[in-house]
Amino acid sequence: MMKSIAMNAIGGFFDDLRENNVLNRDELLRVGEGINFIVNRTKNLVNDLSEKTQTAGKIFVDHFFNSKKQLSLKSHPGNKDDESESTESSSSSTESEDESEETPQEAKASQPSDKLKLCPRDHFHKLKTTRADEIYPVMEKEGRTRLALIICNKEFDCLSNRYGSENDLFGMKDLLENLGYSVVVKENLTALEMEAALRQFADRQEHRFSDSTFLVFMSHGLLDGICGTKHAEQNPDILHDDTIFQIFNNRNCQSLKDKPKVIIVQACRGQGAGSAWVTDMGEASAYKCDGLLQHCIQSDAIKKTHVEKDFIAFRSSTPHNVSWRLDTDGSLFISQLIYYFKEYSWCYHLEEIFRKVQHSFEIPKVLTQMPTIERVSMTRYFYLFPGN
């Protein structure tokens, strides 16, 4: 991993040299041979310093991770674990390209930047009326019982503890509560305990009088799923992605049928660095008797529906690659997600907000990750309309 960090750090410098015609291709190749030797020694250097003294190792790592040129969010010591999160943030992003509705910019400008911006009532009613066939219905606040679930694993038996995740938990809970959800928090669960918590949450009667739900997972992770607190290489403890979708699909959770189900996952999906050097050249049996049912059942009380529908998953990194977290501040993905929700959920639909988060990660830096939008079965736009 130190190799990857070093190569990324040097890459930007090489790009500048080439773009400004300081070095040509042959000269860059010769310099690169020397750089490769340095990079190959980077990991050994860190190990040697750490073995000599913890103080020397800390000074080196602090200096490396706290460079203002490398990290633009905050300068705090970074920590790479199996979920490996760290730093860097973009405080601004381009506006959505083609939103058909007009947005009251004066209302946006008048609200504090660090608070959730509320949607003006007239804007809410305009969209709700003019785009009724395109957006998910939003229940009125009176009598609405929105629920959200956060599962945050910080302490593990065999894996490293996820220091800083308490900041992610606090931030997400605060955001969801401000969006009108009653938040259920579960911490430090095994895979079986996570599954039990999900089933219990899916059975909540409040979903009948809700228009949507959020499921947020923060833990170590692998390509196969989310790690429970007892996970070890020899004894896997993993909550698989399919289990989450099955528990909340239309067969098993009819209270959330035709309602948005948003899954947010902060976890690694492998050990890859998520960057590369490139050159400018160059249960299925339920419907097996569907035909028979069509001929035998003549009742409006029973109708066919999609088993999996109205889901969207937003994950902190691409498959096989790591996510980054700061011991002191929490994960970059969650902090960016919270920022863009607060800034834009008053006027943009969910997928557009997710794209804004992705855009903030678009240019690879020293520590690289790219959030992904996956397994989307939403058939309409989902607006949160905070304050309404």
- Average pLDDT of 316-332? 87
End-to-end CA distance of the chain: 46
pLDDT at residue 173 is higher than 70: yes
pLDDT at residue 70 is higher than 90: no
Q: Which residue type does 276 have?
A: A
What is the structure's pLDDT at 324? Answer: 84
58: nearest Cα among 46, 40, 67:
46
Q: Which residues contact 165 (CB under 8 A, 6 or more apart)?
A: 152, 153, 154, 218, 325, 330, 331
CA 283 – CA 286 distance, rounded (Å): 7
The residues pairing with 374 across neighbouring beta strands, listed in sequence order, are: 313
pLDDT at residue 65 is higher than 60: no
pLDDT at residue 9 is higher than 60: no
Quickly state the pLDDT bin for 34 (edges 50, 70, 90): low
- Average pLDDT of 276-285? 46
- Average pLDDT of 283-307? 49
Q: Between these two residues, 51 and 332, which has the higher pLDDT value?
A: 332
3: left (phi over 0), alpha (psi -120 to 50) or beta: alpha
Catalytic positions = 220, 268
Angle at 199 between CA 240 and CA 357, to 5 degrees: 55
pLDDT at residue 41 is higher than 90: no
CB 334 within 8 Å of CB 172: yes
Instruction: Using only the alpha carbons of the chain, give its radius of gyration.
Output: 24
Dihedral sign computed on CA atoms, order 231, 269, 351, 71 = positive
In the structure encoding, which two tokens stand for residue 179, read together?
């969006």
- DSSP letter for each residue of 189-207: --HHHHHHHHHHHHT-GGG
Q: Which residues contact 325 (CB under 8 A, 6 or more apart)?
A: 79, 81, 83, 84, 85, 86, 162, 164, 165, 168, 331, 332
**How far is the CA of 72 from the CAs of 76, 86, 91, 360, in angstroms?**
11, 11, 9, 12
Question: Across all residues in the chain, what is the average pLDDT?
Answer: 77
The SS3 of residue 46 is helix
Q: Which residues contact 157 (CB under 8 A, 6 or more apart)?
A: 229, 230, 232
CA 51 – CA 45 distance, rounded (Å): 10
What is the structure's pLDDT at 143? Answer: 92
Q: Between these two residues, 14 and 244, which has the higher pLDDT value?
A: 244
What is the structure's pLDDT at 123? Answer: 95
What is the structure's pLDDT at 15? Answer: 63
Q: Which residues contact 110 (CB under 8 A, 6 or more apart)?
A: none
Least confident range from 35-44, 191-200, 286-295: namely 286-295
Quickly state the pLDDT bin for 263 (edges 50, 70, 90): very high
Q: Which residue has the tokens 């692998």?
A: 222
State the chain's maximal CA–CA distance in angstroms. Answer: 79
Quickly state the pLDDT bin for 5 (edges 50, 70, 90): low
In the structure encoding, which two tokens stand for residue 324, read together?
């980054």
| pLDDT digits 0-9 by tens, 43-55 | 444 444 444 444 4
- Average pLDDT of 86-115? 47
- Average pLDDT of 338-349? 97
CB 321 within 8 Å of CB 364: no
Quickly state the pLDDT bin for 77 (edges 50, 70, 90): very low
The SS3 of residue 67 is coil
Quickly state the pLDDT bin for 113 (edges 50, 70, 90): low
Q: Between these two residues, 335 and 281, which has the higher pLDDT value?
A: 335
Quickly state the pLDDT bin for 92 (edges 50, 70, 90): very low
Share of the chain above pLDDT 90, in %: 54
174: nearest Cα among 316, 339, 354:
339
